[in-house]
Amino acid sequence: MKNQNPTFYEEVRGNGVSRRDFLKFCTTMAAFLGLEASGVAQIAKALQSKPRLPVIWFHFQECTCCSESFIRASHPIVANIVLDKISLDYQETLMAASGFQAEDAYKAVMQKFPGEYIVMVEGSIPTENEAYCCIGGRSALQILREAVQNCKAVVAWGNCASAGCVQAASPNPTGAKPVHKVISGKPVINVQGCPPIADVMAGVVVHLLTFDRIPQLDGLGRPKAFYSRRVHDTCYRRANFDAGLFVESFDDEGAKRGYCLYKMGCKGPVTYNSCGIIKWNDSVSYPIQSGHPCIGCAEAGFWDNGPFYQHLPGVAGFGVETTADKIGVGLGIATAVGIAGHAIVTNIRKHKEIINEPEEGSNVETTKES
Amino acid sequence: MRSRTIPLREVHVWELPVRIYHWINALCIVSLCITGYIIGNPPAFMKGTEAYFNFWFGTVRFIHFVSAFLFFFNFIFRIYWGFTGNEFSRWYNFIPLKRCQWKEILDVIKVDVLQVTSKRIDSIGHNSLASLVYFITFLIFLLQCLTGFGMYGAMSSAFLPRLFGWVVPFLGGDMNVRQIHHLLMWGFILFALVHIYLVFYHDYIERRGVTSSMIGGWKFIEEDVIERHENKTEECPKG
Ligand code: HEM
Ligand code: HEM
Ligand code: SF4
Ligand code: SF4
């Protein structure tokens, strides 16, 4: 029988991965995490010596695109992360167990590894009526609150768990809330994106494993290593932005020449993600490279910041097509009309003051000569 | 020739620093509104060329940022001057804490806005309604600086923009900040329209020389108003 708690290295070697490939993987991860050269050794050491990370992975209100992204990570070893390095004792999509056995599996993790296990969450939590999302007869909120009580940290996968995503978009019928809004007292790592980039997800897991602490987070709880740069500042089309060369429609010459997609509603300037650096699908491409503007999927409320193909969102209360400029021009015209009206009234009502006839009760003396 | 003789005295209302502040401010706002509008709606007038040869959008943004820094420090200076300048530029003019200031606001609305009564408004500097509007404008200046530097922080690691790092999370993300920043631009445009009209209006009606007061610093004020101001028997002493 195998070691009860084998290390990740033992696992992947057992699966036929060469040491050379293993080290390549460690190097890639160190690069993604922005570590210095010594970081490679740290990662290699951690993966060779540390037991697997106990993990409970919940699916609440979501579409499973985060799991889908994760298992498509670029490096072949990353697949092993999912299946071996972290012990997915409870992962509703991937585990074999079901029913009572499944419930037992995650309860066992909570009992066996108190203070050590990580809770990973995909999906938002309904609060308008908890019954909108129930598993095994208990609500998402109950399950999550119980599970985080003794956990080490919480990883919120994707926009749903980090900011509510489409479920929380106006009018948010289920009262969907992200993880950090419904629990307290535990560190929450928001791994943003819809879905997050697979290598980013892998990077976060490797970081947790190697350093035994949560990565540095930004003001919105996102790991700085992956979310501190704007898509706009890492975009290869940026030179076109500064040059004022813009795509005006998806079939114009500018689109063919690869001009900047700013006027097509690109949200790159307001979005923090690694798309321009790590890219997608084994670093083949990313949306902007394929000619589509960024829709800002790694930002809170991006569904409500639409339309996607418009630079600024509609103004709340005025309808989605009504931009700040339309309202501004309207108010400007109203003001100009008001000013003109006031000027006319002034010349009628204040006639006396303008020609300076003395007013009753004032001590103005007027002399008229001609 | 038509002329009139009335007892007037010249009063030095706006000291040189206030006037310099005012015109730097006005120029910055014009520049920021124009460049800001272009940043929000860039005209795509170039086709069939490569990025290597051009940088016009970068230049527009550069002008926006240079004007923004000037605007910011000029504004800081005005706040400072609100505590050291003459009585007409002091902070207490702008915040209606006294009952009589609210009464004057009502009077100005009746006399100048709705024009239902006729009465002379005695204030030598700003009248109370104008002051309140300037105060609100100052708050908008502040908000515009907060949102502007909040966005600027993403592209700079300099000390000053970093101080505004909290703005973006506080306002719920870059998109909101950008939207607020853009909407406020229209606040500036509307203010400028009304402000310039009202300067002309007051000059036309009151003939205290308010337009040139922001150039030379002096206003013509009726003698009795000055006497009451000096004896502290005016309707609404602000100090
Ligand atoms: C974009 C254009 C302008 C802006 C944003 C602007 C802004 C302001 C502000 C903020 C004040 C309050 C000053 C203080 O006490 O610190 C002020 C006062 C004043 N401004 Fe302007 N101004 C503009 C254009 C003009 C122009 C074109 C004129 C004259 C031709 C003018 C004449 C005055 C005068 C006379 C005052 C004193 C008002 C009073 O006593 O009621 N301004 N302006
Ligand atoms: C009178 C004051 C100002 C006005 C009217 C103004 C107006 C604007 C407008 C309309 C935009 C375009 C927003 C969009 O649609 O994307 C903009 C962008 C911007 N403004 Fe201002 N602004 C003002 C002051 C400032 C200040 C004080 C700063 C501080 C640094 C600032 C920094 C910025 C930045 C960083 C951007 C984004 C530029 C980019 O990413 O390309 N602005 N401004
Ligand atoms: S395509 Fe988008 S992200 Fe790239 S430079 Fe243009 S606006 Fe920025
Ligand atoms: S380019 Fe923008 S919308 Fe597309 S995946 Fe990246 S962050 Fe999300």
pLDDT single digits (tens) A175-211: 999 999 999 999 999 999 999 998 899 889 889 888 8
Dist. CA B99–CA B85, nearest whole Å: 24
**Considering only CB atoms, which chain B residues are within 8 Å of A262?**
42
**Same CATH topology for A8-227 and A229-310?**
no
Q: Please compute the mean of the pLDDT values over residues A12-16 and round it to a whole number.
A: 79
The secondary element (H helix, E strand) that includes residue A57 is strand A53-59
pTM of the model: 0.89
In chain B the domains, ranked by start, together with CATH numbers, are 17-42+54-203 (1.20.950.20)
Indicate yes or no: CB of A362 within 8 angstroms of CB of B120: yes
Domain spans of chain A?
A: 8-227, 229-310
Q: CA of A330: how far to CAs of A322, A336, A341, B86, in Å?
A: 11, 10, 17, 39
The Cα–Cα gap between A18 and A22 comes to: 6
B114 has a chain A CB within 8 A of its CB: no
Average pLDDT score over residue span A22-48: 87
The binding-site residues of ligand 1, defined as CB within 6 angstroms of any ligand atom, are B 18, 22, 25-26, 29-30, 78, 89, 126, 130, 134, 137, 192, 195-196, 199, 210-211, 213-214
- Considering only CB atoms, which chain B residues are within 8 Å of A312? 40, 178-179, 182
pLDDT computed for residue B226 by the predictor? 93
Which pLDDT score, from 0 to 100, does residue A87 have? 58
pLDDT at B218: 96
pLDDT of amino acid A85: 55
Q: Which residue of B has its CA nearest to A332?
A: B190
How many CB atoms sit inside 10 A of residue A156's CB? 28
Give the per-residue pLDDT at A360.
Answer: 46
Among protein residues, the one with the nearest Cα to ligand 4's atom 2 is A294
If pLDDT is split at 50, 70 and 90, which confidence band does A89 have?
low
With a 6 Å cutoff on the Cβ, whether B61 touches ligand 2 is: yes
Per-residue pLDDT, A361? 45
In this complex, do B115 and A346 lie within 8 Å of one another by their Cβ atoms? Answer: yes
DSSP characters over B38-107: HHHS------S--GGG--HHHHHHHHHHHHHHHHHHHHHHHHHHHHHS-TTTSGGGTS--SHHHHHHHHH
Res. A76: pLDDT tops 70:
no
Residue A307 Cα, ligand 3 centroid: separation in angstroms?
17
Instruction: Judge: A365–B224 Cβ closer than 8 Å, yes or no.
Output: no
Using the Cβ of A315 and the Cβ atoms of chain B, whether some distance falls under 8 Å is answered with yes
Please write the tens of the pLDDT for every residue from B177-195: 999 999 999 999 999 999 9
Ligand 3 atom 5: residue of nearest CA: A238
pLDDT of res. A74: 65
Cβ–Cβ below 8 Å for B118 and A350: yes
| Closest Cβ opposite residue A296 in set B46, B55, B175 | B175
Which position has the token pair 């009564």?
Answer: B117
> What ipTM was reported for this prediction?
0.89
Which parts of chain B have pLDDT scores under 50? none
State the nearest Cα–Cα gap between B80 and chain A, in angstroms. 32
**CB of A178 closer than 8 Å to CB of A163:** yes
CA of A287 to the centre of ligand 4 (A): 6
Residues 6+ apart with CB under 8 A from B88: B13, B14, B124, B125, B126
- Give A 235-264 residues with CB within 8 A of chain B: 239-246, 248, 253-254, 257, 262-263
Selecting from A219, A349, A359 the residue whose C-beta is nearest the C-beta of B169 gives A219
Among A219, A239, A272, beta carbon nearest to B51 = A239
CATH number of A229-310: 4.10.480.10
**How much is the pLDDT for B61?**
97
pLDDT value at A2 more than 50: no
Closest to B36 measured CA to CA, from B168, B174, B152, B153: B152
Angstrom distance (rounded) from CA A278 to CA B10: 70
Tokens of A200: 């980013």
Per-residue buried b or exposed e for A207-234, using 16+ beta carbons within 10 Å of the residue's own CB: bbbbeeebbebbebbbbebbbebbbbeb
At A31 the pLDDT is 87
Query: In this prediction, what percent of chain A has a pLDDT beyond 70?
Result: 90
Q: Is A300 on the interface with B (CB under 8 A)?
A: yes
Q: Is A223 in the pocket of ligand 3 (CB under 6 A)?
A: no
- CATH number of the domain at A8-227, please? 3.40.50.700
> How many CB atoms lie under 10 A from the CB of residue A239?
18
Of chain A residues 157-216, which have a CB less than 8 A from chain B? none
pLDDT computed for residue A146 by the predictor:
92
pLDDT value of residue A79:
61
Q: Which of A106-115, A299-308, A353-362 is least confident?
A: A353-362
- Answer whether the bond into residue A358 is a cis peptide, omega within 30°: no
Q: State which amino acid sits at residue A91.
A: Q
The pLDDT, as a whole number, for residue B95 is: 93
Task: Render pLDDT for B125-168 as a digit per residue (tens, 0 to 9).
Answer: 999 999 999 999 999 999 999 999 999 998 888 999 999 989 99
DSSP run (H or E) holding B150: helix B128-152
CA of B49 to the centre of ligand 3 (A): 18
Q: Which residue in A106, A185, A182 sits closest to A152, CA to CA?
A: A185
Please tell me whether residue B224 adopts helix, strand or coil conformation.
Answer: helix
pLDDT tens for A122-174 read 999 999 999 999 988 899 999 999 999 999 999 999 999 999 999 999 899 99
Whether the CB of B162 is below 8 Å from some CB of chain A: the reply is no
